[in-house]
Amino acid sequence: MAFTLPNLNYEYNALEPHIDARTMEIHHSKHHAAYTNNLNAAIQGTEWESKGIEEILKNISKLSPAVRNNGGGFYNHGLFWEIIAPNAGANPSGNLSEAIDKKFGSIDNFKKDFTTAATTRFGSGWAWLIVQGGELAICSTPNQDNPLMDIAEVKGTPILGLDVWEHAYYLNYQNRRPDYITAWWNVVNWNEVAKKFSAAK
Ligand code: MN
């Protein structure tokens, strides 16, 4: 199989009380596993089987809806598990902190704008912090699309992503997406976001 479900660096219950163990277990072992399996099935026997996921996403307009949905789902969730962690949530430092202050005025302003992007994304989708021509920007995408895709309205390299599909929060937060987002800030792994920022610049 071309792609495999990545393991988490922490236990399913490690992000409680902000993200509950049952949600984490279903999200990773069912949803992310399904995107991975369906992506493999969709590219089996094609030239894309030997390509990396980023190359697939950058050429997504040439590929089927099954690859778009499941390739996006495979990539997006891999990033999502990396940018959250237990005992995280302190504010960013260093170059990333400076870049956020420069672009958004302050970390609080950034969180406000990002939260607006996440709460106003209608239906299922993602909010993103991206690097675009060396600069930070906030955007959101529907379904499992992402800013690496050639069909994305706003393109760039994602360094932080928030899943606002109901499957990401409904068991614990029901319809209260804003409460889920408020809690999620407590588990953002800024060290990892800073690494992705350096790599993307
Ligand atoms: Mn999800």
Distance 28 CA to ligand 1 centre (A): 8
Residue 60 CA to residue 155 CA, distance in Å, equals 13
Distance 165 CA to ligand 1 centre (A): 6
Give residue 175's pLDDT band: very low, low, confident or very high (50, 70, 90). very high
Q: What is the pLDDT of residue 88?
A: 86
Q: What is the pLDDT of residue 8?
A: 98
Distance 91 CA to ligand 1 centre (A): 24
Distance 97 CA to ligand 1 centre (A): 27
Distance 84 CA to ligand 1 centre (A): 13
Residue 148 CA to residue 14 CA, distance in Å, equals 30
CA dihedral 152, 154, 156, 158 (to 10 degrees): -80
**41-64: per-residue pLDDT in tens?**
999 999 999 999 999 999 999 999
The answer on pLDDT for 1 being more than 80 is no
Query: What 3 state SS string does 137-176 have?
Result: EEEEEECCCCCCCCCCCCCCEEEEEEECCHHHCHHHHCCC
The answer on pLDDT for 151 being more than 80 is yes
Contact 77, 31 (CB under 8 A): yes
